A = this chain, B = another copy of it.
């Protein structure tokens, strides 16, 4: 997070509308992928130059331009000019610290979402920004780096029975959002598994190491929550977008996505509550162990310290100590010690310390 904030802070003082990529994937060469489709035909091109891929005049049907990699600010500028985008939209596409949001402009809708991908080796998730712009007959999508996430949608588009082919760019936009929100369930599942694991560890073996695991998990949830929290508002805003850009047909599907986002947020909140309950149990277990340790020390010390005192007493070298000369002095002292020890043991047993 610090790194991204650093890039964001670097932007301070620049004129608004200055195009500057604030992310960390700086060596991704932008890949352009253009699909033009309607109910009957579909056509795909890809490359790194815009004019290679995009025909000069607007084709019939829907054009989907997907850009992987945001390092080429000139390319973003060209696209902006081509589709009449506001300079601030271009700036926001490149500023990957945006919160998820939906902004309506005249003629198009701008959607910022977060792609959350689980990284199995580092046991954490990565966050990338995805921008989606859709208007009448076109959809532009921007990702920070290449991924296979939209591959399934490409395939579905190939199938000319697919609902995607029958509906316009708003339905395609919905599909992309749906795919991104579905990823959140996968990440939540992974986090949920880790929580269950740490829960077992915390209860069975409350060592410092596990407290740190817990803390890291908590931080992870904090980040996850911060990332997904604005989503509800964004999708709810999208539901209220003006009817020319969003058909009622797509609206029904979006309502479904909205339900999913609420479900994700709900589960995240429950995880957060579980984690704070786990900290409580961890701390109480620590105190319990301390009690147990202290009881052992106290029992041992309390039994043997008086006995040692008595032994020391008869180890004194006074000339005039009559007991030392009694015939049964030694067994008497031993018996006394035994009685003291037994009384102590009974006392501790009564107190439930043994």
Contact = CB atoms under 8 A, between A and B. Distances in A.
A92 B182 contact: no
A342 interface: no
Given A259-B98, A290-B287, A307-B309, A316 B315 contact: yes
A29 to B, nearest CB: 27
A211 B284 contact: yes
B288 A208 contact: yes
A135 to B, nearest CB: 16
A297 B348 CA distance: 12
Nearest to A148: B13
Contact of A211 (B88, B156, B281): B281
A330 to B, nearest CB: 4
5 contacts: A9-B186, A16-B256, A230-B262, A300-B302, A314-B317
Contact of A253 (B88, B182, B302, B313): B88
Q: How many copies does the complex hold?
A: 5
Contacts of A60: none
Given A11-B185, A300-B301, 11 more contacts: A5-B185, A12-B183, A15-B162, A92-B259, A211-B285, A230-B262, A289-B291, A290-B291, A304-B305, A320-B329, A320-B330
A212 B208 contact: no
A149 to B, nearest CB: 8
Contact of A277 (B222, B298, B308, B317): B222
Interface string A88-110: 10011000011101010000000
